[in-house]
Structure 1
Amino acid sequence: MELEAIPSGVMVKEVLLKLDLETLCSVAYVSRALRFSVSQALPLLSSLHLSAFSPDAQTLAHILCRCSGLKSLTLNCLRLDDSSLGRFLGPQLQELNLLSCTLLSYQLLASIGKSCLNLRVLMLELVEQESAEVFKSNLARMLRGCLYLESLCLKIRGTDVDASAFQTVQFFLPKTLRILKLHPVLELDGIQLISKLQVDRTSSETADFCITFSPITAGFPLQCLSLVLDIISDELFILITNSLPLLIELDLEDRPHKEPLLHRDLTNNGLQSLGSCHRLTSLSLIRSRRNHPVSFKRINDMGMFLLSEGCKGLESVRLCGFSRVSDAGFASILHSCQRLKKFEVRNALFLSDLAFHDLAGVPCSLVEVRLVSCSLITSETVKKLACSRSLEVLDLYGCKSIADSCLSSISRLHRLTSVNLSGADVTNYGLSVLGQGSSPITHLCLRGCKRVTDEGLSLLLHGGGTISKSLSALDLGHMPGISDKAILTIAKSGIGITELCIRYCFNVTDSSVEALAMKRRLRDEGKLLRRLDLFNCTGLSVESMRSLRKPSFPGLHWLGIGHTRLTSKGNAVVTEICMLRRWLTLCLDGCEMGCHDGWQFHRPDYR
C-alpha cells in the first residue's frame, strides 16, 4: 500500500506518535503525505526528550512552537539561557527535566514556581553562579508555587559549591513528595531535613502509598531519598532509617575533605539500622575519593552480615569505599539477597574471586554487575558470573587481571548488551572470540587495552557473530595499537556504530576522519555517527576539520576536539561549522562523550 493511501489519522496515531523527534524529522522528508502527517503529529506529542544534543535558542524555539501539547519536557540546556526557556514554561507541564544548565541563573527557579503550577516531576542540574542566599530565596519561591510535586531532584555543580544551599528547603517541601534528590548537602542540614520529613508510622501502615498521590497530613511518605553530603554519619543514617520506614530506594554519597572523626563516621551500627526499612529494594552507599583518599574504616564484614540479614529483599546494591570488607562480607549479600539484580562494588581492596566461588549454588538472577577498580578480580569471577543467563551489563573497569580466558563465557550470554573491559589484559585473540559469539553487545569499552591492535578490531567486526550487527557504541581510547587501519575497518564494517571514542589515539590521522565522514553512505539504514571523541588525537591536522562540512557527518550531534590542532585560533572552518550545524556541539574541554560530566567548567563562549 502506498503511503498516500493510508489515512493521515491512522498514520499519526498508530505510527508517528511512537517515534522520537529526530526520526519524525527524517520521516518528513520521505514524501508530501508523510510531511503532512508529521505536521499533524507534532502538536499531539505529550512528551519530548532532547538530551542527546544541546540545541541553541533558535533551534529550540523552532521545535517547541510546533509541539503545543507537551506535558513532559527534557532538555540539554548547555547552550540555553533564561530567556530561551521562559516563554515555554506553563501550567500544561507536569514533568520538566533541565540538564547541564551552564547559562541558566537561579532566577529560573522562581519562574518555574510562577508558571508551572501543575508540575509533578522536576529535575534541575545547575552550575554555581550566584550566592547561596539568592539560590535559597528563588528556591523558596519555586516550592511555594509547585504545590503538587511528587519528585524533586536538584543538583548544583561548581568548583566551590556552598553545601548550605538547601538549608531551608525542608520548610517549603510539598506534602505530595515521594522522591527527593539533593546535591550537595551538609550533614547537619541533612539531619534537620530528615527530622522534618518524619512519617507517622501508625498512619503509614494503612495507606497505599504506591497508588495515591494526595497530600498526607502525617508527614512525608517519602519512598526515594538521594543525598550527596560532606559526611555520612551514624546519626544521620539511623535518623533516616527510623524516620522514613516507607523507603524503597536510599542513595547516599559523601565527599569528605579530610579523615572523618571517629564519632561522626558510619559504623556497623548504622548499617544494622537498615533492618527497619522493610520495603527497601535499592541501596547505594558511596564514599568518594574526589576530595580526599578516604574509606568507611569503621565498617567490616560484620556490618555486611548485619546488612544482608536485615535487608534480604534488596534488588540493587551499590557500594564504594569499603576498604575493610573482605570476600565474606560481599558474599553474604550475594547469598542472602536472592532477588538481587544489580550488584556494584568499587575500589574494594579485598574483593577477590572467592566472593563469587559458590555463586552457581544459589539462585542467580543478576542483570547488572559492576566490579570497578577491584584489582584482585580475575577471569575466574567472570566465568562464575556467566551462570546468570539474565546478565545484561558487565562492567570490569580497571580490573587488570581480566584476560582472554573468560571472553568465551561472555560471548555466550544471549542477553548481554554492555561490556566494559577498560584496562583489561585482553588481546586480539580475545576479540576474535567475541567477534564469533552470540552476545548482542551494543556498548563495548576497550579503553586502555594496550595489547589490542588494528587486527583485533578487524577480527571483532569480521568474525561473523552477533556483535558485528548489534554494536552501536565503541570506546578505543588510550590504545596505542589503534591507527587509521582500525578506523577504516569501523567506517566500512561497523555499520551500526553511532558513538565512537578514540581519544588519546596518537596514531590516528586525517585519513580516519575522512573515512568516518564517508559513513554517510549508510544514511538510508539510519546508522549515522552521532558522537565522536577525538580528544588529544595529536596526529590530526587542521585540514581534517574540512571533512566536517556538509554533507559529511549528517547525523553528528557531539564532537570532542580538545587538545588537537583542530582548535587553533582563527580557524574559519570551525566558525563555519558552528554556524551551519546548529545541532552540533563542539566540546573543547576534554569532557567524556556527550559532556555528561564536566559541563559545569565550560567557558562562557562554549559551543
Structure 2
Amino acid sequence: MVTELLSPPVVPYQSMEHIRPSILQGLQKLCLSVDYITDTMVCTITKNLNCLTHLDLRDSPIMEPRLAFDLTNAGIQQINLHGRLKHLSLRVNDLGILLMADRCSDMESICLCGFCQVTDTGFRTILHSCAKIYKLRIYHGPHLTDLVFHDVAATSLTLTHVSLRWCNLLTNHGVARLVSNGNLSVLDLRDCRNIGDEALRRISNLSKLKALLVDGSDVSDMGLSQLSKGAMSSLVSLSIRGCKRLTDNCISFLFDESSNCELRELDLSNIPNLSDAGVLLLAKRRIPLFELRMRQCPLISDTSIMVLASMKVDEEGWYGSSLWLLDLYNCGGITQLSFQWLKKPYFLRLRWLGVSSSVSRDVLDALFRNRPFLHVAFRGEELGTTGQWDNSDDLYMHDYDEVDELEQWIEGENEGDDEDIQEVENNA
C-alpha cells in the first residue's frame, strides 16, 4: 500500500512522457508506522520523494521477518541518495551504518530503535562521521557499551539531546565521557540499570541541562544530593520513576533550601519507599510544580492530597494553584475521602488527574459536575502523553473551551457546585 501511494499512477498503454508525478513528491517530512520495513519501501521513498528532509520509519513485526520482508544493507544504501536528509529514524546493523555514514555527514538527528545487531562499531561510526548531529536517540541497544563515548570529547560534536533507553551495558564511566559535552540540555537514561550515583555526580556539572530522566536506574538519595549542587538550578523536568533505592530523604536532598530551583515537572512514580512524609517535605519547599506524578506508590495516602491542596507557592497565591497535572494512579492509601480536597477552591489550575479505577463512579460524576474542565484518567493511562487517549471508555474528556477555572472561581461563578461532591461523600 505504501509503495502504491508513493509511486506515480500508471495507466495501461500510457507513454512514459504522460505519467503524472505522485501528488506527494514535494513532501519534506514522512513518518510511517508499518508491519515491516523493506528494501522495496525504502527504494520507493527515495526514488519518489526527492525533497525529503525528515524520515521516520517504524516497524512492529509480529515475528522476526524473513529476508524478503526486512530492511537489508542493500536497502540502507538507497537512503539519502539526494543528500537532503537531516533527520533519520530506522533500524539496521553495523554494516548498514557503515555504508550509510558517507552519505549522511549532514545529518542533524538520528533515532535508532530496536538495534539488536548493532555494536559499538556502528554507533561510533555515527558519532565520528556525522559531525552535525545534535540529537541522538538509541532505544534498546543491547550491545552499546561505554566504548561508544570513549573519545567523544575529541570529536567536533555539539550534542544537545541524547536518549539512551534500555542500554544496560552502559555504566557510570560511559556517562562521564558523554557529559564531557557540556551543551547537553536533554539527557534520557531510562532503564539503564547500571547507572548510579557517580553518573549523577558528573551530570550535576551540566549547566544547560533542562530535562533529566533516570528511571529504573541504581541511584540513591545521596546521589540525588549531587544534583542540588549544580544541575538542579537549570533543570525544568526530572524523572526518577522506579528508582527502588530512593526514600523520602531524596526530597530534602533534591530541594536544598538555599538552592534556586527552576523545576516544573517531577516524576516520583513507582518508588516503594516514598510516603506522605516525602510529600510534606516537598510542600514545605514551595516548589511551583506544574506536573507531579506519583503513580503506583503504595505508601501515598489521602494525607498527600491534603498537603498538596493546602500548599501555597507564595503567601499571596491560591492553594495548590500551580499544579496542572497530578497523577495518583494506584497509590495504596488514596480513598474517596480525599476527593473533598480536589474541589474548589483547591487545585484551581488542575487540568489532568490520574486516579485508580476503584473510585466510585458517583464520586467521579460529582467531580466532573464540579470541575467540567478537568480530564480524569482512571485506567492507568499516562497523563498528558500524545496518542494515549484512543479508548474513550478509559478517559473522561469534556470538550469545552479552555476557560481559566481560577478566574471563574474568583468571579464567583458556579458557587453551588461543591454541594454535589459533599452529598456523595455523605452517602458513601
Does TM, scored on the shorter chain, surpass 0.5?
Answer: yes
> Closer, same or farther in 2 for the Cα pair 1:494/1:221, shift >3 Å?
same
Q: 1:587 aligns with which of 358, 377, 388?
A: 377
Shift of 1:520: 4.6
Q: What secondary structure is seen at the aligned counterpart in 1 of 2:138?
A: strand
Instruction: Give the CA deviation at 1:519.
Output: 2.4
Of residues 214, 219, 228, the one that matches 1:426 is 219
Matched, 1:238 2:76: no
CA distance, structure 2, for counterparts of residue 472 and residue 229 of structure 1: 36
Corresponding residue number in structure 2 for 1:508: 300
- Deviation, structure 1 residue 553: 0.9
Task: Give me the whole-angstrom Cα distance separating, in 2, the residues matched to 1:217 and 1:402.
Answer: 49
Q: Which residue of 2 aligns with 1:92?
A: none
Question: Corresponding residue for 1:600?
Answer: 390
CA distance in 2, matches of 1:217, 1:196: 4
Residues 286-335 of structure 1: per-residue CA shift (max 9 Å, x gap)? 6xxxxxxxxxxxx4211111121211100000011111110010110011
| Cross-structure match for 1:15 | none
Q: TM-score, normalised by structure 1?
A: 0.61
SS at structure 2 position matched to 1:532: strand
**Counterpart-to-counterpart distance in 1, 2:101 and 2:395:** 51
Match of 1:283? 88
Q: Is residue 232–residue 253 contact of structure 1 (8 Å, CA) maintained in 2?
A: yes
Give yes or no for contact 1:461–1:494 (8 Å, CA) kept in 2: no
How has the CA–CA distance of structure 1 residues 464 and 304 changed in structure 2, closer, same or farther, with 3 Å as cutoff? Answer: farther
Indicate which of 179, 191, 205 corresponds to 1:386: 179
Task: Say whether the 8 Å CA contact 2:286–2:313 is kept in structure 1.
Answer: no
Cα distance, 1:243 vs. partner?
Answer: 2.2
The one-letter code of the counterpart of 1:342 is K
Q: CA RMSD in A?
A: 2.1
Asked whether the 8 Å contact 1:437–1:465 carries over to 2, the reply is: no
- In the TM superposition, 1:84-95 aligns within 5 A as none
Where does residue 190 of structure 1 map in the other structure?
A: 2
> By how many angstroms is 1:220 displaced?
2.4
Cα offsets for 1:55-106 (capped at 9, x unmatched): xxxxxxxxxxxxxxxxxxxxxxxxxxxxxxxxxxxxxxxxxxxxxxxxxxxx
**Deviation of 1:596 (Å):** 3.0
Q: SS in structure 1 opposite 2:206?
A: coil
Scaled by the length of structure 2, the TM-score of the pair is 0.85
Letter in 1 for 2:238: L
For residue 404 of structure 1, the aligned residue among 184, 197, 201 is 197
- Report the CA distance between 1:218 and its aligned residue: 9.1
Provide Cα deviations, 1:103-155, integer angstroms capped at 9, x if missing partner: xxxxxxxxxxxxxxxxxxxxxxxxxxxxxxxxxxxxxxxxxxxxxxxxxxxxx
Query: Which of residues 291, 294, 297 in structure 2 aligns to 1:499?
Result: 291
Question: Quick one: structure 1 residues 396 and 509, their matched pair in 2 at CA, closer, same or farther if it must change by over 3 Å?
Answer: same
Equivalent residue for 1:555? 349
User: In structure 2, the residue corresponding to 1:485 is in which secondary structure?
Assistant: helix
Provide the rounded CA distance (Å) in 1 between the counterparts of 2:341 and 2:255: 25
SS at match of 1:369: strand
**What does 1:15-34 correspond to in 2, within 5 Å?**
none
Query: Equivalents in 1 of 2:315, 2:371: separation in Å?
Result: 17
1:399 to partner: Cα distance: 0.1
| Equivalent position of 2:329 in the other structure | 535
Indicate if the aligned counterparts of 1:428 and 1:459 stay in contact, CA closer than 8 A: yes
Please state whether the residue corresponding to 1:600 is helix, strand or coil. coil
**Match for 2:125 among 311, 332, 339?**
332
Matched, 1:577 2:367: yes
CA 1:229–1:397 in structure 2 vs 1: closer, same or farther (change >3 Å)?
A: same
SS at match of 1:196: coil
The number of aligned residues is 384
Which blocks of at least 5 consecutive residues in structure 2 are unaligned?
Answer: 11-20, 398-428
Structure 1 match to 2:32: 227
* Cα distance in 1, alignment partners of residues 107 and 384 from structure 2: 32
Is contact 2:286-2:311 (8 Å) kept?
no
The question of 1:458 aligning with 2:270 is answered: no
Aligned equivalent of 1:347: 140
Corresponding residue of 2:72: 267
- 1:338-374 deviations in whole A, cap 9, x for unaligned? 0100000011110111111110110120010000011
Give the partner amino acid of 1:191: T
Alignment partners' CA distance in 1, 2:391 and 2:316: 38
What SS is found at the alignment partner of 2:7? helix
1:523 Cα offset (Å): 8.2
SS in 1 for 2:311: helix
Change (3 A) 1:605 1:495: closer
Summarize deviations over 1:137-179 as a string: whole Å, max 9, x none.
xxxxxxxxxxxxxxxxxxxxxxxxxxxxxxxxxxxxxxxxxxx
- SS of aligned partner of 1:500: strand
For 1:417-496, list aligned pairs within 5 A. 417-439=210-232, 440-462=234-256, 464-466=258-260, 469-496=261-288
Check 1:557–1:604 CA distance in 2 against 1; reply closer, same or farther (3 A cut): closer
SS at match of 2:191: coil
Match of 1:251 in 2: 56
2:311 corresponds to which residue? 519
What is the rounded CA distance, in whole Å, between the counterparts of 2:192 and 2:179 in structure 1? 17
Q: 1:192 to 1:581 in 2, by over 3 A?
A: same
Seen in structure 2, the aligned counterparts of structure 1 residues 579 and 197 have a Cα distance that, compared at 3 Å, is: farther
Change (3 A) 1:421 1:271: same
Q: State whether residues 376 and 395 of structure 2, in contact with CA within 8 Å, keep that contact through their aligned partners in structure 1.
A: no
Q: What residue number does 1:373 align with?
A: 166
Say whether the 8 Å CA contact 2:6–2:24 is kept in structure 1. no
Report the residue type matching 1:250 in the other structure. Answer: L
Give matches, 1:297-308, under 5 Å: 299-308=92-101
Aligned-partner Cα distance in 2 for 1:382–1:360: 12
Question: Secondary structure in 2 aligned to 1:260?
Answer: coil
Q: CA deviation at 1:577?
A: 2.0
Aligned CA distance change for structure 1 residues 541 and 556 (closer, same or farther; 3 Å): same
> Normalized per residue, which structure has more helix?
1
Matched, 1:413 2:206: yes
Return the offset for 1:575.
2.6
- 1:58-97 to structure 2, matched below 5 A, reads none
